[in-house]
Chains A and B, each alone.
Chain A
Amino acid sequence: MVVTINGQTMTQSLSFTMMGGTKTGLALIPNSASPTLKTKINITLESTFPYTLAKSDFTVNATNITNPSYFRQMNVIGVYESTKTIEVMFGGAYTGLYQISIRHNTFGLVDTTGLQLTVGSNVTSYYPMQGSIYGGTELTITGTNFGTVYTDNPV
């Protein structure tokens, strides 16, 4: 290892031994979130994760795949040791595809290959598609990642 501080170099002859393997994040539920509303997300780790889960030990980020300089940190709001699940709160981000990264203070990085979060909200249909010119027609809009509170969905 070479350590350089203000131009002064120290060389340490060290041998590091690495773990035999990695631990993986298995599931991301849900894997889609609203860009504007807060969403609780559960991330399940391998059952053999070697440490007892604690909220303060984890740092979880969502990094935009097309623009890696843009990332959102997610707060860990709960851990469930029996299922090796951590619960995080996603606060919203620009629409896009995000790679999840998880770091444990002691263990280090968790393999999150395949754990991707889709951020976006879409209208898939609305009915009826015609109505009175004087108004009064009840419209039903169907889509993804709408809020469960009707005031969260201004139309």
Chain B
Amino acid sequence: MANGTSTTNQTLGTTHIFHIALTKLINGVSAINTLIAKSTTAIVAVALPDTVQKSSPPVSGKFRIRCIDGNGYYSDTDDINYNENARWIQHAVERKCNKMYDKVEIWRDTVKCPYSENCIAFWMRYVGKNEKVGQASIISGVATVLGGNTTSKQNVTVPYGKNLFYEPIPFEMLRTYETQPQVIVTVGDNPAVCHNLTCHFNYSVPQGEVTAYTYTTATKVLTLTGTNLPANASLIRHVEFAHSKCSISASSNTSLTCTLDHIPVCGSHLPNLVAKQGSVNSSASLSATVIGCTATSIAPTTQLNLLGGDNLTITGTNLPWNMATSNIDITLSDAQSTKCIP
């Protein structure tokens, strides 16, 4: 609330608006007399009093706005011409009333006092003032006295509507307290906001378990057996074994059969079944399959450069088809244990 106290009841949220109005100078009378038709032959003229048609007396001179803070302290603006515009009045207020700098808006009330009417009215509203808002009043100018006696001020308290409690809050100022893991998304360097500010991520208990598997080297066929496995291929993201994806040919709740897309790479491997909901657990009793590799030839072996830089080609079986996914170390058995970098 504007008095500095937090609230959780939107009906208590208020905005404070002051209405400052001056009557505008009327230079001449609007009507002198009016005609009344008494009969078809006689006309009676009724004169209207001039004095009540003019501002009495008309507004003139200069005025000041006295800004009174919530503790009763006040400061006055410099003299302001009676017919000054809203922007200049705001400038004068912000210049002399330090507590209202950047926290007040002044605009002309063209509803209550249209430009065609003989009056001048302004609204003054506090913005972002998180303390007692105080009051404002009009006083006469010092160097030039304000003429006319029709100054007025009004304090209006307007509750916010139910659809908008506060002024729009920038996203950067929002902070939520979450008890669940959150998915944090950034687009470029900018944080993205989740729908309804809900970015919860739920960890689920893995479904199913691989309890056994077999791999047939000759056919490259991998068979998994287990419990509660994904029943069909559409529920499986991929199956991987020995650095190779596996194309599924049959699946059920208890078994899955697939064929490796590549020659298996040497190493010690366990199958990896990843369903759409995440990895399927493998039984701790599974033992890794060791796939060996052989080097049948290495070339060239003659006229190697003393400084290095030669390309050696190793030919064999079950060698890595993608060097980025394998750990490869080649060391010559010379005195310097020379390395060959793949």
Listed in ascending order, the chain A residues whose CB lies under 8 Å from chain B are 1-8, 10, 12, 14-19, 21-22, 103-105, 107-111
Listed in ascending order, the chain B residues whose CB lies under 8 Å from chain A are 265-268, 290-295, 298, 301-311, 314, 316, 319-320, 326-333, 340
Name the contact of A108 in the complex, choosing from B304, B314, B331, B340 (C-beta under 8 A). B304
Q: What is the chain A residue whose CB lies nearest that of B291? A: A8
Q: Which 10 A-B pairs have the closest CB atoms?
A: A108-B305, A6-B267, A108-B309, A109-B309, A109-B307, A4-B329, A8-B266, A108-B310, A103-B309, A17-B302
The main secondary structure of chain B at its interface with chain A is loop
Q: Pick 16 A–B contacts, CB within 8 A, sort by A.
A: A1-B333, A2-B330, A3-B314, A3-B328, A5-B327, A5-B329, A6-B265, A7-B267, A8-B266, A14-B301, A16-B302, A16-B304, A22-B305, A109-B305, A109-B307, A109-B309
Name the contact of A19 in the complex, choosing from B305, B316, B332 (C-beta under 8 A). B305
Beyond the given A7-B267, A108-B308, please list 9 additional residue pairs across the A-B interface where CB-CB is below 8 A.
A1-B331, A2-B333, A4-B331, A5-B319, A5-B328, A6-B327, A10-B293, A16-B304, A19-B303
> Would B326 and A19 count as touching, CB distance under 8 A?
no
> Would B304 and A5 count as touching, CB distance under 8 A?
no
Could you tell me the distance between the alpha carbons of A111 and B199 in the complex, rounded to whole angstroms?
A: 61
> Would B298 and A12 count as touching, CB distance under 8 A?
yes
> Would B267 and A10 count as touching, CB distance under 8 A?
no
- Central interface residue in A12, A18, A110, A111, by most chain B CB within 10 Å: A12
> Would B309 and A6 count as touching, CB distance under 8 A?
no
Known: A104-B309, A111-B307. A3 touches B295 (CB 8 A): yes
Closest CB-CB distance, A45 to chain B, in whole Å?
14
Closest CB-CB distance, A111 to chain B, in whole Å?
6
> Would A105 and B311 count as touching, CB distance under 8 A?
yes
Q: What is the chain A residue whose CB lies nearest that of B290? A: A8
Could you tell me the distance between the alpha carbons of A2 and B329 in the complex, rounded to whole angstroms?
A: 8
Known: A1-B332, A18-B306. A6 touches B268 (CB 8 A): yes
Could you tell me the distance between the alpha carbons of A16 and B310 in the complex, rounded to whole angstroms?
A: 12
Could you tell me the distance between the alpha carbons of A14 and B265 in the complex, rounded to whole angstroms?
A: 24
User: Chain B contacts of A3 at CB under 8 A?
Assistant: 295, 314, 328-330
User: Chain A contacts of B330 at CB under 8 A?
Assistant: 1-4
Q: What is the chain B residue whose CB lies nearest that of A13? A: B333
Closest CB-CB distance, A61 to chain B, in whole Å?
12
Q: What is the chain B residue whose CB lies nearest that of A2? A: B331
> Would B326 and A5 count as touching, CB distance under 8 A?
yes
User: Chain B contacts of A110 at CB under 8 A?
Assistant: 307
Name the contact of B301 in the complex, choosing from A17, A22, A107 (C-beta under 8 A). A17
User: Chain B contacts of A6 at CB under 8 A?
Assistant: 265-268, 320, 326-327
User: Chain A contacts of B293 at CB under 8 A?
Assistant: 5, 8, 10
Closest CB-CB distance, B200 to chain A, in whole Å?
39
Closest CB-CB distance, B56 to chain A, in whole Å?
70
Name the contact of B305 in the complex, choosing from A2, A4, A15, A18 (C-beta under 8 A). A18
Name the contact of B306 in the complex, choosing from A4, A7, A12, A19 (C-beta under 8 A). A19
> Would A16 and B332 count as touching, CB distance under 8 A?
yes
Could you tell me the distance between the alpha carbons of A14 and B298 in the complex, rounded to whole angstroms?
A: 9
Could you tell me the distance between the alpha carbons of A29 and B292 in the complex, rounded to whole angstroms?
A: 52
User: Chain B contacts of A2 at CB under 8 A?
Assistant: 329-331, 333
User: Chain A contacts of B290 at CB under 8 A?
Assistant: 8
Could you tell me the distance between the alpha carbons of A4 and B306 in the complex, rounded to whole angstroms?
A: 24
Could you tell me the distance between the alpha carbons of A104 and B311 in the complex, rounded to whole angstroms?
A: 10
User: Chain B contacts of A12 at CB under 8 A?
Assistant: 295, 298
Could you tell me the distance between the alpha carbons of A19 and B268 in the complex, rounded to whole angstroms?
A: 39
Closest CB-CB distance, A58 to chain B, in whole Å?
11
User: Chain A contacts of B314 at CB under 8 A?
Assistant: 3
Name the contact of B328 in the complex, choosing from A4, A17, A22, A108 (C-beta under 8 A). A4
Q: What is the chain B residue whose CB lies nearest that of A103? A: B309
> Would B304 and A19 count as touching, CB distance under 8 A?
yes
User: Chain A contacts of B291 at CB under 8 A?
Assistant: 8
> Would B267 and A5 count as touching, CB distance under 8 A?
yes
User: Chain A contacts of B333 at CB under 8 A?
Assistant: 1-2
Known: A5-B265, A6-B267. A108 touches B295 (CB 8 A): no
Could you tell me the distance between the alpha carbons of A109 and B292 in the complex, rounded to whole angstroms?
A: 34
Could you tell me the distance between the alpha carbons of A107 and B307 in the complex, rounded to whole angstroms?
A: 10
Q: What is the chain A residue whose CB lies nearest that of B331? A: A2
Closest CB-CB distance, A24 to chain B, in whole Å?
10
User: Chain A contacts of B305 at CB under 8 A?
Assistant: 18-19, 22, 107-109
> Would B316 and A22 count as touching, CB distance under 8 A?
no
User: Chain B contacts of A1 at CB under 8 A?
Assistant: 298, 330-333, 340
Closest CB-CB distance, A113 to chain B, in whole Å?
10
Could you tell me the distance between the alpha carbons of A6 and B310 in the complex, rounded to whole angstroms?
A: 24
